[in-house]
Chains A and B, each alone.
Chain A
Amino acid sequence: MPLNFTLALRNLFHDRLRFVATMIGIVFSVVLVLIQMGLYLGFGRVVSTMIDHASGDLWIVRQGTKCFEDPSLLDARIRDDVLATADVKSAVPIVIGFSDWRLPSGEMTPVFVVGTDLKSGGLQPWNITDGSVDALKADEAVAVDQTYYKRLGVNGLGSTADLRGRPVRVAAVTDGIRSFTTTPYVFADLKHAQDYTGIPANKISYLLVTLKPGADVAQVQHALHAAVPNIEALTPAAFRDRSRSFWLFGTGAGAALFAGALLGLIVGTVIVAQTLYSSTKDHIDEFATLRALGSSNAYIYRVIIYQALLSAVIGFCFAAAIGFAVVEVTTKGALPIVITPTLVAAILALTVAMCIASALAAILRVLRIDPVMVFTR
């Protein structure tokens, strides 16, 4: 190990107060960036959770649909045209829409209804902890998430309420199907969902298309666009991206998250730069001595860079520990913070880059060192 690394390590820990200040700066910055980016990823996942849990190869949506929650409707009769298209195996209609849930106490709360043809699959509730999907085929049967019991005034299977004036009964309970809008999801059979949302029987929100094995997705998309007017046939990935793009950037939410992360980076850079610079100033005699001993500038820069890198790695470890604790706390929340290995690696790289950039001011200071000063101090 070169001695300039040892020197950097000892200099770093020598002034404990400054070390603590550096760590606070880095941890604050990295935790902020980690949480903002974790929220970004979590938000991206939550807004596309329905698309991610649907089984199909293509989504038929009305032209210009911006996201899964878009209220645009399709004519139900296009299903025949879709089924007539080569390589299409099935097309399951889906209905979505907001509705009013009346609690037994008489209070009203908005809910988001998701209805599908339960016989054909498509988009069914998942993570069922009580009841079953089959139970939803019965009249008045709905599935709700246990997270929203209090909000919906229910306490499990068999609980009853009114949905847009129609009586409903909880026939299945899910765990963790939460909406980023905080409006509870309610799953129902297609026909009932149309009633609950007020969507006419001849209208649907989406068709979820499954293709025959070996079908060329792009060719089928092309054929569907030619056969059915005013629709778009989107792959799940394309629909997911479109939904995320709308909610993250169309609404400004993503920009706000990025702005927060950028702010964290700026604050971190300034704090680390300030502490590195003051550390360098305090050790300026030592750097001048190194120069007098004949060390190259690069050798001295490495002392500062090592200090920056050590700060980055140690600070990142603290920040990551805090970040993972925050993830644990928010796991069951409406908007969980998602930290992936890629995000961790990217933020570690960002932390290192931030600390090295912070070292610039200190390096510029060292650049001006005149070794002759060792004779006057």
Chain B
Amino acid sequence: MSRNLYPINQPVLEARGITQVLGTGAAKVHALKEVDFALRGGELALLMGPSGSGKTTLLSVLGCMLTPTVGTVSVCGKSTTGADAEELARLRRDHVGFVFQSYHLFSTLTAAENVQLALDVRGRRGNDARLRARNALVRVGLADKFAATPRELSGGEQQRVAIARAIVSDPSAILADEPTAALDSENGQSVMTILSSIARESTRGVLVVGHDPRLMPFADRIISIADGRVVDERSGGTGAPRLRAAGGS
């Protein structure tokens, strides 16, 4: 098992009683209200909800980018309470991989370098890092695109590079923010298949934020959020919806 992977079915990311207030004064918004959530190793969880429901805010909190106003977040059992910006960055570095809606690849770097960058920020360099980056690209089906720059890749290929970048350092959790939103149906399916296989083939937890119903068959668990509260949680695939108490886990 790689060093960052966490025992299967154990929460890799856990949020308890999260309330997140954004803005100040008249612009103050309660983006999350007493949310409890756990992402377990080996599952692909789908977080769904309308625009402005708090999905991305919850993703930011779970990804240690945002410190909750109230509540606690644990990453692989370690509480983030009191952590400063550098400590949060270290937690992200050690345990979390991200996939963004607009890929956020580095335009001047090749696909292999973009993936390798995730290792470089962790201080992992040299031939081993190069090999790992290439293996990650092979894993997402881009064995022939090592030297291509983002401009030379299609949207689907760019997103696959982003997934390779997210998995190359073997994080415990992968957080994907609407990873298929900018893709056509075929590429969207392809990306979700990869993310789903990543969750199934390891003890890594994958949380996907989205609102496209076509994502649902890939999910082990579907969580619905509205107005900053978790309002529903059900099994993916054919699983029947289970109504949950607000804020329940």
Mark A residues whose CB is within 8 Å of B: 2-4, 6-7, 10-11, 14, 285-286, 289-297, 299, 370-372, 374-377
Contact = CB atoms under 8 A, between A and B. Distances in A.
B15 interface: no
B100 A374 contact: yes
A375 B59 contact: yes
B27 interface: no
Interface stretch (B40-48, B88-96, B213-221, B229-237): B88-96
- List the 7 closest A-B pairs by CB distance, nearest first: A294-B93, A10-B108, A294-B92, A295-B121, A3-B120, A289-B104, A371-B65
Interface string B155-167: 0000000000100
Interface string B72-110: 000000000000011001111110101011101011110
Contacts of A374: 98, 100, 104
Given A292-B98, A295-B121, A374-B100, A14 B92 contact: no
A11 B117 contact: no
A305 to B, nearest CB: 16
A6 B106 CA distance: 11
A16 B109 CA distance: 17
Contact of B109 (A3, A285, A294): A3
Given A6-B109, A372-B66, A293 B60 contact: no
A3 B165 CA distance: 14
Interface of B: 56, 59-60, 63, 65-66, 85-86, 89-94, 96, 98, 100-102, 104, 106-109, 113, 116-118, 120-122, 125, 165, 177
Contacts of B121: 290, 293-296, 299
Nearest to A369: B85
Given A290-B117, A294-B91, 5 more contacts: A3-B125, A6-B113, A291-B89, A292-B92, A372-B66
B106 A294 contact: no
B24 to A, nearest CB: 15
Nearest to B171: A294
A150 B66 CA distance: 80
A3 B168 CA distance: 15
9 contacts: A3-B116, A10-B109, A293-B92, A293-B93, A293-B117, A293-B121, A374-B100, A375-B101, A377-B102
Contacts of B94: 294
Contacts of A295: 89, 93, 121
Given A374-B100, A375-B100, A11 B92 contact: no
Nearest to B66: A372
B93 A375 contact: no
A3 to B, nearest CB: 4
A210 to B, nearest CB: 66
A177 B228 CA distance: 87
A296 B123 CA distance: 11
Nearest to B125: A2
Most buried by B among A2, A286, A289: A289
Contacts of B60: 372, 375
Nearest to A370: B65
A50 to B, nearest CB: 59
Contacts of B116: 3
B98 A7 contact: no
Contacts of B89: 291, 294-297, 371
A256 to B, nearest CB: 44
A1 to B, nearest CB: 8
Contacts of B118: 293
Contacts of A371: 65, 89
A179 to B, nearest CB: 56
A261 B100 CA distance: 49
Nearest to B178: A375
Contacts of A6: 109, 113
A18 to B, nearest CB: 13
Given A292-B98, A374-B104, A375-B56, A4 B120 contact: yes
B109 A7 contact: yes
B19 to A, nearest CB: 17
A292 B109 contact: no
Contacts of B165: 293
Contacts of B113: 3, 6
Contacts of A375: 56, 59-60, 100-101, 177
A293 B97 CA distance: 7
B166 to A, nearest CB: 9
A2 B120 contact: yes
Contacts of B65: 292, 370-372
Contacts of A299: 121
